[in-house]
């Protein structure tokens, strides 16, 4: 990958709020990642399994053997050049949407972060509690610092729940989905081949539909930031990964 390609991807990310980069991971690498994921013990409280979705929260912490398979030189280069020198993982999730899933996600922005504990800090709220973690809406400056990396372990298109996005909507601040006129703001379906990645900003308005083709949609979702939180708050996963001695970005 040359500097011209990276410049194009960076410009798309800044202007549109997302970009897609094909063929980042080889077929062998994808198979290795799937093998690691399939071999983990699924009894942790951070695992969620239903007919419509299998998810692993705090993914990098729960499946540490995946780390050297993800943070290969090309990924580290992309992170440095598109995000910045000081961005580190602050949240990670693995999603497996089965081929017959009726699960869909309506139009929304990603407005919360995961933190280690609940503290009364001005500008942070409202709060929600999930098993083993706290989530809170931070100031918009924190949200604007985040980049989300999505690694696709399956071909993804409209038939198995590919993300739909509204290009440029990340630059409009926090919005209500009900205020969007989709006739005036056409959406784009993000088709990503197996081994490719999508990068997006959390304020980008996005959604996904139900599956209709019987094919899984497996995605590794990792959020990065270079910001410190206020009032003693700490990113939940940055602290846990640091405490475990894991060095991701080499």
- Percentages (nearest 5) of helix, strand, coil residues in the chain: 25, 25, 45
Give pLDDT, residue 246. Answer: 47
Please state the pTM of the whole predicted model.
0.90
What is the pLDDT averaged over residues 20-32? Answer: 97
Quick count: other Cβ atoms within 10 Å of Cβ 82?
A: 21
In tens, the pLDDT along 133-165 reads 799 999 999 999 999 999 999 999 887 778 999
- State percent of the chain over pLDDT 90: 64
- State percent of the chain over pLDDT 70: 84
216 or 39: which leads in pLDDT? 39
**If phi over 0 gives left and psi between -120 and 50 gives alpha, with beta otherwise, what is residue 98?**
beta
**What is residue 16's three-state secondary structure?**
helix
**What is residue 95's three-state secondary structure?**
strand
DSSP state of 228: P
In tens, the pLDDT along 191-234 reads 999 999 999 999 999 998 776 665 678 999 999 999 999 999 99
For residue 66 the two structure tokens come to: 């995946």
Least confident of 23-32, 48-57, 124-133, 145-154: 48-57
Strand partners, 62: none
43 or 229: which leads in pLDDT? 229
Give pLDDT, residue 161. Answer: 77
Which CATH superfamily does the domain covering 3-243 fall into?
Answer: q2cbj1_9rhob like domain (2.60.120.620)
For residue 139 the two structure tokens come to: 């100031």
Spatial contact of 236 and 134, defined as CB atoms under 8 Å apart:
yes
Strand partners, 18: 200
């Amino acid at each position: 990958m040359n500097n011209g390609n990276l410049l194009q991807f960076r410009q798309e990310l800044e202007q549109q709020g997302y970009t897609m980069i094909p063929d980042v991971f080889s077929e062998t690498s994808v198979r290795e990642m799937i093998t690691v994921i399939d071999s983990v013990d699924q009894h942790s409280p951070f695992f969620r399994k239903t007919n419509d979705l299998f998810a692993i929260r705090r993914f990098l912490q729960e499946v540490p053997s995946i780390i050297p398979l993800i943070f290969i030189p090309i990924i580290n280069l992309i992170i440095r050049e598109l995000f910045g020198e000081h961005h580190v993982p602050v949240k990670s999730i693995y999603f497996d949407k089965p081929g017959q899933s009726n699960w869909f996600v309506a139009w929304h922005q990603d407005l919360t972060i995961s933190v280690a504990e609940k503290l009364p800090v001005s500008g942070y709220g409202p709060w929600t509690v999930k098993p083993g973690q706290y989530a809170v809406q931070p100031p918009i400056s924190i949200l604007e610092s985040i980049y989300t990396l999505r690694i696709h372990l399956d071909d993804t298109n409209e038939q198995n729940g590919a993300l739909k996005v509204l290009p440029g909507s990340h630059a409009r601040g926090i919005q209500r989905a009900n205020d969007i006129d989709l006739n005036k703001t056409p959406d784009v379906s993000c088709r990503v081949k197996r081994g490719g990645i999508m990068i997006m900003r959390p304020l980008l308005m996005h959604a996904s539909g139900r599956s209709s083709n019987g094919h899984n949609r497996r995605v590794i979702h990792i959020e990065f930031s270079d910001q410190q939180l206020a009032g003693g708050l700490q990113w939940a996963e940055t602290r846990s990964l640091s405490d475990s001695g894991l060095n991701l970005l080499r």
